[in-house]
Amino acid sequence: MPDVTINLWTVILGAASGLAAVFGARKGNPFVMGAVFGAVTAVILTVAKGFI
């Protein structure tokens, strides 16, 4: 049976992006704003990972 590994950074990135999308969806068009806030959070955290 193959080993299963979970990348913790991917879990943190997904959770933070999802949370930002939920809070961002409260303004304007919920789908567009949720997608924008989630994507921006993912980009910022990906860049921040390089500094950690």
What DSSP string runs through 1-52? Answer: -------HHHHHHHHHHHHHHHHHTTSSSHHHHHHHHHHHHHHHHHHHHHH-
Which residue range is the domain that position 26 belongs to? 8-51
Q: Is position 3 within any domain?
A: no
Report whether 46 contacts 7 (CB < 8 A).
no
pTM, full prediction: 0.75
Comparison of pLDDT for 52 and 11, the residue scoring more = 11
- 21-44: pLDDT as tens digits: 888 888 788 888 888 888 998 888
Q: Is position 1 within any domain?
A: no
Q: How far apart are the first and last CA of the chain?
A: 34
pLDDT of residue 1: 65
Report whether 18 contacts 28 (CB < 8 A).
no
Report whether 42 contacts 17 (CB < 8 A).
yes
Q: Is position 2 within any domain?
A: no
Q: Is position 17 within any domain?
A: yes
The count of domains in the chain is 1
